[in-house]
Amino acid sequence: ARLERLYQKGPLLGKGGYGSVFSGVRKSDGLPVAIKFVSKLQAEEEIELPEFEGPLPLEVALMKRVCAVPESAHILHMLDWFNLQTQYALVLERPEPCQDLLAFCLDRGGRVDEGLARQVMTQLVGALIHCTCRGVLHRDVKPENILIHTDTHAIKLFDFGCGDLWKSTAYKEFAGTLDYIPPEWFLRGKYHAGPATVWSVGVTLHSILSGFLPFGSPRQIIKGRLRLDDDLSQECRDLICWCLSPKATDRPTLEQIQLHPWLQ
Ligand code: ADP
Ligand code: MG
Ligand code: MG
245 assigned ligand-binding residue: no
**Radius of gyration of the CA atoms of the chain, in A:** 18
Asked if 75 and 158 touch (Cβ cutoff 8 Å), the reply is yes
- Supply the pLDDT for residue 241: 98
Per-residue confidence band for 207, with pLDDT thresholds at 50, 70 and 90: very high
State pLDDT tens for residues 106-117.
999 999 999 999
- Residues labelled catalytic: 140
Strand, coil or helix: 42:
coil
Q: pLDDT at residue 200 above 90? A: yes
Ligand 1 binding pocket includes 145 (Cβ within 6 Å): yes
Pocket test for ligand 1, best of 9, 12, 21, 80 (most atoms within 8 A of CB): 21
- Supply the pLDDT for residue 16: 80
171 strand-pairing partners: 191
Report the atom number in ligand 1 closest to the C-alpha of 144: 14
State pLDDT tens for residues 63-115.
999 999 999 999 999 999 999 999 999 999 999 999 999 999 999 999 999 99
What is the number of the ligand closest to the CA of 20?
1
State pLDDT tens for residues 246-260.
999 999 999 999 999
DSSP per-residue letters across 241-252: HHHT-SSGGGSP
Query: Which residue, among 74, 73, 43, 72, has the nearest Cα to 60 in the 3D structure?
Result: 43
Report the atom number in ligand 1 closest to the C-alpha of 76: 23
263 assigned ligand-binding residue: no
- Supply the pLDDT for residue 107: 98
Ligand 1 binding pocket includes 17 (Cβ within 6 Å): yes
ipTM score of the complex?
0.98
List alpha helices for the chain, DSSP H.
2-6, 58-67, 101-106, 114-133, 183-188, 193-210, 218-223, 234-243, 254-258
Q: pTM for this one?
A: 0.97
Q: pLDDT at residue 44 above 80? A: no
Per-residue confidence band for 184, with pLDDT thresholds at 50, 70 and 90: very high
100 assigned ligand-binding residue: yes
